[in-house]
Amino acid sequence: MRFANQAAVATLATALFALGGHASAQSDYPNRPIRIIVPYAPGGGTSAMSRLVGAKLSQNLGKNVIVDNRPGGNTIIGSQLLLNSPPDGYTLLIVTSTHTINASVLKTPYDAVKDFATVSTLSQSPFGLVVHPSLPVRTLRELIAFSKARPGQIDYASSGIGTANHLAIEHFAMVAGVSMNHIPYKGGGPALVDLLAGQVQLHMTVPVNLIPNIKAGRIRGIAVTGERRLTAIPAVPTFKEAGLPAYNPKNWNGILVPAGTPKPIIDRLAAEIVKVLDSADVRAQLEAQGQEAWATSPQEFAALIKSEVANYAAVVKRANVTAN
């Protein structure tokens, strides 16, 4: 009996020591570099957002924040990398609406809701529809008429099958009554490169990489979603102004961590994100990119993801989008 009591005491002592170490690890968080996984290729809007937020987080926390681009698998590669990391707040994942679409398009090795913990959204933005200057259209009405006369002959680029901008264009095609040919890429950066080279004729994505190229005349802005024109490209009308009021999707991005990450760490990260997005310089840079700073609580972000999973499931079914 005496040995049994000694074993029990030893087990209790070990547990208390572990709890004490766990609490200490939370109290001095962060005490080493933080990694933000970006599940897209460099050069796209999500990558730009990650670097903007990462630089400000690093400045505020006094710790290095490393942006790690891991494209491929329709964001699954980067997402799986996060889930293979310890739930300690030192590995984050930036996601877009694509995260909530994958469950309806692909067989993912994880549950988009249960296997992740939400921290905060970062921004929301409209979509911009652009074409290569070789396409002989300057307005939305001209694009729709041109497409109807040539079904399946316009090649459009997306960040990948089932991504937010893929579904945005499929939704546009449904509303406008046109048919186009989909060319998927491993991110917005490669898609934009081929659009600029004239390898594809049409693209729709967040405005960050479109704005400078529209201004330089390398691509032609046709329309933007949202309720008002973007101050950076005021000559480009909204879809409502251009004659398609029923079409108005938007994109968002946010930060996830693995499920099981301690709540105090999640709350600390969420509070730091609010500080980042409240800073005047970050807001100004986001506005210049056609984005709007948008911080939510972990609970609000969790509700958004659940809602988006259900909403996109309906769109995927209606548009008959498959991984093939």
Whichever domain contains 151, its CATH number is 3.40.190.10
Number of domains observed in the structure of the chain:
2
Task: Identify the pLDDT of residue 319.
Answer: 76
Residue 178 inside a domain? The answer is yes
In 3D, which of 256, 249, 296, 41 has the Cα closest to residue 125?
A: 249
Domain boundary among 242, 267, 284: 242
121 and 169 together in one domain: no
Task: Identify the pLDDT of residue 10.
Answer: 54
187 and 260 together in one domain: no
CA distance 300 to 322: 30
121 and 190 together in one domain: no
Return the SS3 of 25. helix
In this structure, the strands spanning 128-131 and 202-205 are: antiparallel
Task: Identify the pLDDT of residue 103.
Answer: 83
Question: Angle 93-39-64 (CA atoms, 0-180°, nearest 5)?
Answer: 50
81 and 102 together in one domain: yes
- pTM for the structure as a whole: 0.75
Residue 21 inside a domain? The answer is no
177 and 283 together in one domain: no
Encode pLDDT of 45-85 as tens digits.
Answer: 788 889 999 999 999 999 999 999 999 888 999 999 999 99
172 and 202 together in one domain: yes
Residue 13 inside a domain? The answer is no
Domain boundary among 242, 275, 310: 242
Residue 4 inside a domain? The answer is no
262 and 116 together in one domain: yes
Give the domain CATH number at 266: 3.40.190.150
Domain boundary among 197, 217, 242: 242
Q: How many CA atoms lie within 13 A of 261 on its CB side?
A: 32
Domain that holds residue 285: 31-125+250-319
Residue 12 inside a domain? The answer is no
Task: Identify the pLDDT of residue 25.
Answer: 54
232 and 90 together in one domain: no
In a structure prediction context, what are the per-residue pLDDT tens digits for the chain, which is 324 residues long?
A: 444 455 555 555 555 554 555 555 567 899 999 999 999 888 877 888 899 999 999 999 999 999 999 998 889 999 999 999 999 999 999 999 889 998 888 889 999 999 999 999 999 889 999 999 999 999 999 999 999 999 999 999 998 888 888 999 988 998 999 999 999 998 888 999 999 999 999 999 888 889 999 999 999 999 999 889 998 899 999 999 999 998 988 889 999 999 999 999 999 999 999 999 999 999 998 888 778 899 999 999 999 999 989 888 887 887 788 775
Tokens of 174: 């449904």
Residue 18 inside a domain? The answer is no
Task: Identify the pLDDT of residue 2.
Answer: 47
Residue 51 inside a domain? The answer is yes
138 and 110 together in one domain: no
Task: Identify the pLDDT of residue 1.
Answer: 46
Task: Identify the pLDDT of residue 250.
Answer: 85
Helices within the chain (DSSP H only):
2-27, 45-61, 76-83, 98-105, 140-149, 164-176, 188-196, 210-215, 239-242, 263-278, 280-288, 298-319
HEC string for 46-81:
HHHHHHHHHHHHHHHHCCCEEEEECCCHHHHHHHHH
